[in-house]
Structures are given as structure tokens and as C-alpha cells.
């Protein structure tokens, strides 16, 4: 049985609400979950039984939220081999900005370069189109969850 490591990147809290909602769904299905609001590479298991879910907003001009930026720096510096890490990306953003969901796409590229194995395409949530972003999780979850059964 998997323990999911949900890595949150947030400034205003929406990505954390989305992570909490996803956690409820995973726990209902019998999985275990660790939420990382101050994600640090040293606290993240590199293990097939601990898939990573990166749930991050984009801030500034296509930038990482401050709380997840250190993880991106640690990945760039330490360059761990992530071939045992399966990961998925949930990216929050707004299409009113040029670089829609760019933080999610940046960390996706980083994890792929480090040999992480991506499971499912990135879920992009536009908060203009989906004012309650948790609603997008409800639609996405059933198909995505089949990867872990």
C-alpha cells in the first residue's frame, strides 16, 4: 500500500486546500499521506512505495511560491537519482497570466531530468475557470487513482 508524499507550493492557501481535499480522498481509499508544507529534499523518501504529488500554485511572473522554491534549489544542487520516484503534478494557476501554471511545469521538468517517473499528465487548474479548485480534483481523481490499484 502506498504512502503519498504531497508537496505543497502555496502563497495564498488554495493549493493547500486542494492538497487537503486530495488527502481526504486518498485516505478514504486506504492510502496513507504525508503533507509537506515546508518541503525539504531530506524529508522526502526516495522509494517506489512513496509516490510524490506536487501540488503547486504559480506566483510572481511564472515563479515558484516561496515555500517550495528551496526544494527546487535542493534538487538542482544535489541532483538525486529519482528513478525510484513516481510522481504526479497538480498545478494551480490563472490563465490571466502569461506563464500559466509555470511552477508546476518547471518542477515537472526538474523531476523528469532526475529520472523521476511521471504518472498521468499534469492536472492544470485555472482558478478563473474553476473558482473552487477542489472541484477539479473530484473530476480528475477517479481516473488518476486507477494507477495505484
Please pick, from the candidates 10, 23, 67, 88, the single residue that binds ligand FMN as defined by CB under 6 A. 10
> Of 13-21, 27-35, 67-75, 80-88, which part binds ligand FMN (CB under 6 A)?
13-21
Q: Which is nearer to ligand FMN, 94 or 122 (CB)?
A: 94
Please pick, from the candidates 93, 105, 136, 137, the single residue that binds ligand FMN as defined by CB under 6 A. 93
Nearest by Cα to 148 from 88, 101, 76, 106: 88
Please pick, from the candidates 3, 34, 50, 99, the single residue that binds ligand FMN as defined by CB under 6 A. 99
Q: Which is nearer to ligand FMN, 110 or 127 (CB)?
A: 127
102 near ligand FMN (CB under 6 A): yes
Three-class DSSP category at 13: coil
Write out the three cell numbers for 40. Answer: 525539504
How far is the C-alpha of 54 from the C-alpha of 48, rounded, in Å? 16
Q: Which is nearer to ligand FMN, 55 or 82 (CB)?
A: 55
Least spacing, CB of residue 148 vs ligand FMN, in Å: 25
Write out the three cell numbers for 67. Answer: 515555500
> Which string of DSSP letters, residue by residue, matches 74-137?
HHHHH----TT-EEEEEEEE-TTSSSTTHHHHHHHHHHHHTT-EE-S--EEEETTT-SSTHHHH
Applying CB under 6 A, the residues found at the interface with ligand FMN are 10-15, 57-62, 65, 92-94, 97, 99-102, 127
Amino acid at each position: 500500500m502506498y504512502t503519498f508524499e504531497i508537496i505543497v507550493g502555496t502563497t495564498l492557501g488554495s493549493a493547500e486546500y486542494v492538497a487537503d481535499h486530495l488527502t481526504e480522498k486518498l485516505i478514504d481509499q486506504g492510502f496513507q499521506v504525508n503533507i509537506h508544507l515546508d518541503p525539504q529534499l531530506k524529508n522526502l523518501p526516495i522509494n517506489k512505495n512513496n509516490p510524490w504529488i506536487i501540488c503547486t500554485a504559480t506566483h510572481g511572473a511564472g515563479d515558484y511560491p516561496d515555500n517550495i522554491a528551496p526544494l527546487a534549489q535542493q534538487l538542482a544542487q544535489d541532483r538525486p537519482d529519482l528513478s525510484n520516484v513516481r510522481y504526479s503534478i497538480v498545478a494551480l494557476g490563472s490563465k490571466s497570466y502569461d506563464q500559466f501554471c509555470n511552477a508546476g511545469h518547471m518542477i515537472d521538468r526538474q523531476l523528469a531530468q532526475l529520472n523521476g517517473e511521471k504518472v498521468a499528465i499534469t492536472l492544470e487548474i485555472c482558478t478563473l475557470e474553476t473558482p473552487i479548485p477542489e472541484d477539479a480534483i473530484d473530476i480528475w481523481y477517479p481516473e488518476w487513482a486507477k494507477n495505484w490499484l
